[in-house]
């Protein structure tokens, strides 16, 4: 059984849980610790006792450790990518690219450790000066979803360590293997014992124990809206910082003057790559009258040509969905959309492959109404809808007519539309002639409205969450 990492020791749990490959349910990947509250509390205690020394550690030490982690991830990207593809189901090239991104995130924050700055200002009072510095927040809890098993943990763990915090990390139940490999790399990096702790186990038990611990001074969470609310409310009760990144229902607007190939490529990638299991997926394709027929026809051809298959098969272009629960959720949305009168243009059914797995055909609905459930709620699978609109203004209205606000995209050759959309789309990230998914690792990430609460993640913006400002007044 693969154990937890608590206080620098690999600690086994009394019970274990099997990790099954969604591309082949006969393939048992491994058995992982199924931790309870006690293990989570031990991890919190370890992070609390390691915090002070780490918070005062020299930036050279932080740089060297983060660089070692980043370099090792890059050196082992084929092996980690294979584990990721095997347990999550995205195809191998996507899994390796995600692993590479995680390595680069650690290298980015290795460099950031050497760039910590403060401000020295004159006071408004005579003979007084003012210093503004950033200090670590404390032991932090990091709770992550299954769809980016290494990139999301990396973009929380790397800045947490960079800015001098200690960590309790709880990965999603579906992807313990990638988290375990990452923990193994961190353990060997020379990081002092207890600064980083891994606890594998169910969210309502291990996650909840982290939320209940008063020693935890900040929680960074990515996942569903339902859990995000639990996290936010628990943090408010504990008077602690939180950042919660949740779902999306991201619009990709296509206007008459769009380049048809650019627009259909953006829609294909945004809606179906990574099996559509991206919070930034282009799930609503909002298309103006003049290009609608050509867009639907060309996109249909491209969706039909997508080859669904096992994640490790080099011929596969789209892997399975992550598990039976997610497959059931996707199918219930598909059946609901049919009942509501949406036109099923492609897909909508399971795909048989050589191995038993959770394979679902990429699914495209046309002639959908903005009020349908399929256009209101996040599916989190390879399912997209086309909504036909009169013109750009109509498209923008519908793009913003959602409780979510993570990403929004527009395909157009017009400067006027792209400039207007950038300013008026209600989303934290806006893409022009690009899929709504696919972001850089060195710039801020996050949404508005029901998609996100709290400071942005990634890039230099990460300092805001993982540090607290101190203002010191000095006379003399």
Alpha carbon distance 426, 421 (integer Å): 9
Nearer to ligand NAD among residue 280 and residue 366 (C-beta): 280
Q: Quick check: 454 binds ligand NAD (CB under 6 A)?
A: no
CB of 85 to ligand NAD, least distance (A): 17
Q: State yes or no: residue 208 binds ligand NAD (CB under 6 A).
A: yes
Residue 154 touches ligand NAD, criterion: CB under 6 A? no
Q: Give dist(CA 206, CA 454) in Å, integer.
A: 23
CA distance 403 to 377: 9
Residue 130 or 205 having the CB closest to ligand NAD: 205
List, in sequence order, the alpha helices (H) in 117-243.
151-162, 176-187, 208-212, 225-237
Contact 409, 282 (CB under 8 A): yes
Check 162, 235, 279, 411 and give the catalytic one: 279
Nearest distance in Å: CB 6, ligand NAD: 17
* Residue 81 is a binding residue for ligand NAD (CB under 6 A): no
Taking the complex as a whole, the smallest distance from the CB of residue 147 to ligand NAD amounts, in Å, to: 5
Choose the binding region for ligand NAD from 4-12, 226-234, 262-270, 362-370 (rule: CB under 6 A): 226-234
Q: What is the Cα–Cα distance from 318 to 311, expressed in whole angstroms?
A: 7
Pairwise CA distance, residues 56 & 186, whole Å = 19
- Judged by CB under 6 A, does residue 330 bind ligand NAD? no
E-strand spans in 274-369?
A: 282-288, 343-346, 363-366
Q: Which stretch binds ligand NAD (CB under 6 A): 113-121, 204-212, 301-309, 310-318?
A: 204-212
349 classed as catalytic:
no
Task: Tell me which H or E stretch contains 339.
Answer: helix 324-339
Contacting ligand NAD within 231-260 (CB under 6 A):
231, 245-248
What residues between 10 and 49 interact with ligand NAD by CB under 6 A? none
Task: Examine residue 143 and tell whether it contacts ligand NAD (CB under 6 A).
Answer: yes
Q: Give me the residue label for tokens 């490790």.
A: 312
Beta carbon of residue 143, minimum distance to ligand NAD (angstroms, whole number): 5
CB half-sphere exposure, 230, CA atoms < 13 A: 16
Q: Rule CB under 6 A: say whether 146 interacts with ligand NAD.
A: yes
Q: Give me the 373-392 binding string for ligand NAD, x by CB under 6 A, dash otherwise.
A: -----x-x------------
The 8-class DSSP code of residue 260 comes to H
Q: Is 172 in the site for ligand NAD (CB under 6 A)?
A: yes
Among 2, 86, 170, 292, the residue binding ligand NAD under the rule CB under 6 A is 170
**110/213 with CB nearer ligand NAD:** 213
Q: How far is the CB of 235 from ligand NAD (least distance, A)?
A: 11
User: What's the rounded Cα separation, in Å, for the pair 108 and 67?
Assistant: 9
DSSP lists the bridge partners of residue 285 as 252, 386
Residue 245 pairs in a beta bridge with 222, 452
- Binding segment for ligand NAD (CB under 6 A), chosen from 62-70, 95-103, 167-175, 282-290, is 167-175
How far is residue 198's CA from residue 3's CA, in Å, rounded to a whole number? 9
At a CB cut-off of 8 Å and minimum separation 6, what does 67 contact? 106, 107, 110
Which one of 78-86, 137-145, 369-377, 412-420 is the stretch in contact with ligand NAD (CB under 6 A)? 137-145
Closer CB to ligand NAD, 309 or 381, in the complex: 381
* Residue 308: C-alpha distances to residues 268, 312, 352, 469 (Å): 14, 11, 9, 49
**H runs (alpha helix) in 76-91:** 77-88
279 is catalytic: yes
**Whether the Cβ atoms of residue 138 and residue 51 lie closer than 8 Å to each other:** yes
Per CB under 6 A, the list member of 176, 177, 223, 310 interacting with ligand NAD is 223
Active centre residues (catalytic): 245, 279
Contact residues for ligand NAD, defined by CB under 6 A: 143-148, 170, 172-173, 203-204, 207-208, 211, 222-224, 227, 230-231, 245-248, 279, 378, 380, 406, 451
């Amino acid at each position: 059984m693969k154990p937890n990492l608590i206080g620098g020791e690999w600690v086994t749990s009394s019970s274990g849980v099997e990790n099954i490959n969604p591309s082949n349910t006969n393939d048992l990947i491994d058995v992982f610790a199924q931790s309870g509250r006690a293990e989570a509390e031990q991890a919190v205690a370890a992070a609390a006792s390691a915090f002070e020394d780490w918070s005062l550690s020299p930036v050279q030490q932080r740089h060297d450790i983060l660089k070692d982690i980043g370099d090792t991830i890059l050196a082992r990207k084929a092996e980690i990518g294979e584990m990721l593809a095997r347990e999550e189901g995205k195809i191998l090239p996507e899994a390796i690219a995600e692993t590479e991104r995680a390595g680069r995130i650690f290298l980015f924050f290795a460099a950031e450790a050497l760039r910590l700055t403060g401000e020295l200002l004159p006071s408004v009072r005579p003979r007084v000066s003012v210093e503004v510095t950033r200090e670590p927040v404390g032991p932090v809890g990091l709770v992550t979803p299954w769809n980016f098993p290494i990139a999301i943990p990396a973009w929380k763990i790397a800045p947490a360590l960079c800015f001098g915090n200690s960590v309790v990390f709880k990965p999603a139940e579906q992807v313990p293997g990638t988290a375990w490999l990452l923990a193994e790399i961190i353990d060997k990096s020379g990081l002092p014992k207890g600064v980083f702790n891994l606890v594998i186990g169910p969210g309502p038990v291990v996650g909840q124990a982290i939320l209940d611990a008063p020693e935890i001074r900040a929680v960074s969470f990515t996942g569903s809206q339902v859990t995000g609310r639990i996290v936010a409310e628990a943090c408010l009760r504990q008077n602690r910082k939180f950042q919660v990144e949740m779902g999306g229902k991201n619009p990709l607007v296509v206007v008459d003057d769009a380049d048809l190939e650019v627009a259909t490529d953006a829609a294909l990638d945004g809606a179906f790559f990574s099996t559509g299991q991206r919070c930034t997926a282009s799930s609503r394709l909002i298309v103006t009258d003049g290009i609608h027929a050509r867009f639907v026809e060309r996109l249909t051809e491209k969706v039909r040509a997508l080859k669904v298959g096992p994640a490790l098969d080099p011929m596969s272009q789209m892997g399975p969905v992550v598990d039976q629960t997610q497959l059931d959720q996707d199918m219930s949305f598909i059946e609901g959309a049919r009942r509501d009168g949406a036109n099923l243009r492609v897909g909508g059914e399971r795909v048989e492959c050589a191995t038993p797995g959770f394979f679902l055909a990429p699914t495209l609905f046309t002639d959908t109404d903005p009020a349908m459930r399929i256009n209101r709620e996040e599916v989190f699978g390879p399912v997209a809808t086309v909504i036909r609109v009169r013109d750009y203004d109509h498209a923008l209205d519908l793009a913003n007519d959602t409780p979510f606000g993570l990403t929004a995209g527009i395909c157009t050759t017009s400067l006027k539309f792209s400039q207007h959309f950038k300013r008026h789309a209600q989303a934290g990230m806006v893409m022009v002639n690009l899929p709504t998914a696919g972001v850089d690792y060195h710039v801020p990430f996050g949404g508005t409205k029901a998609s996100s609460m709290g400071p942005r993640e990634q890039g230099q913006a990460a300092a805001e969450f993982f540090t607290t400002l101190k203002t010191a007044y000095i006379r003399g």
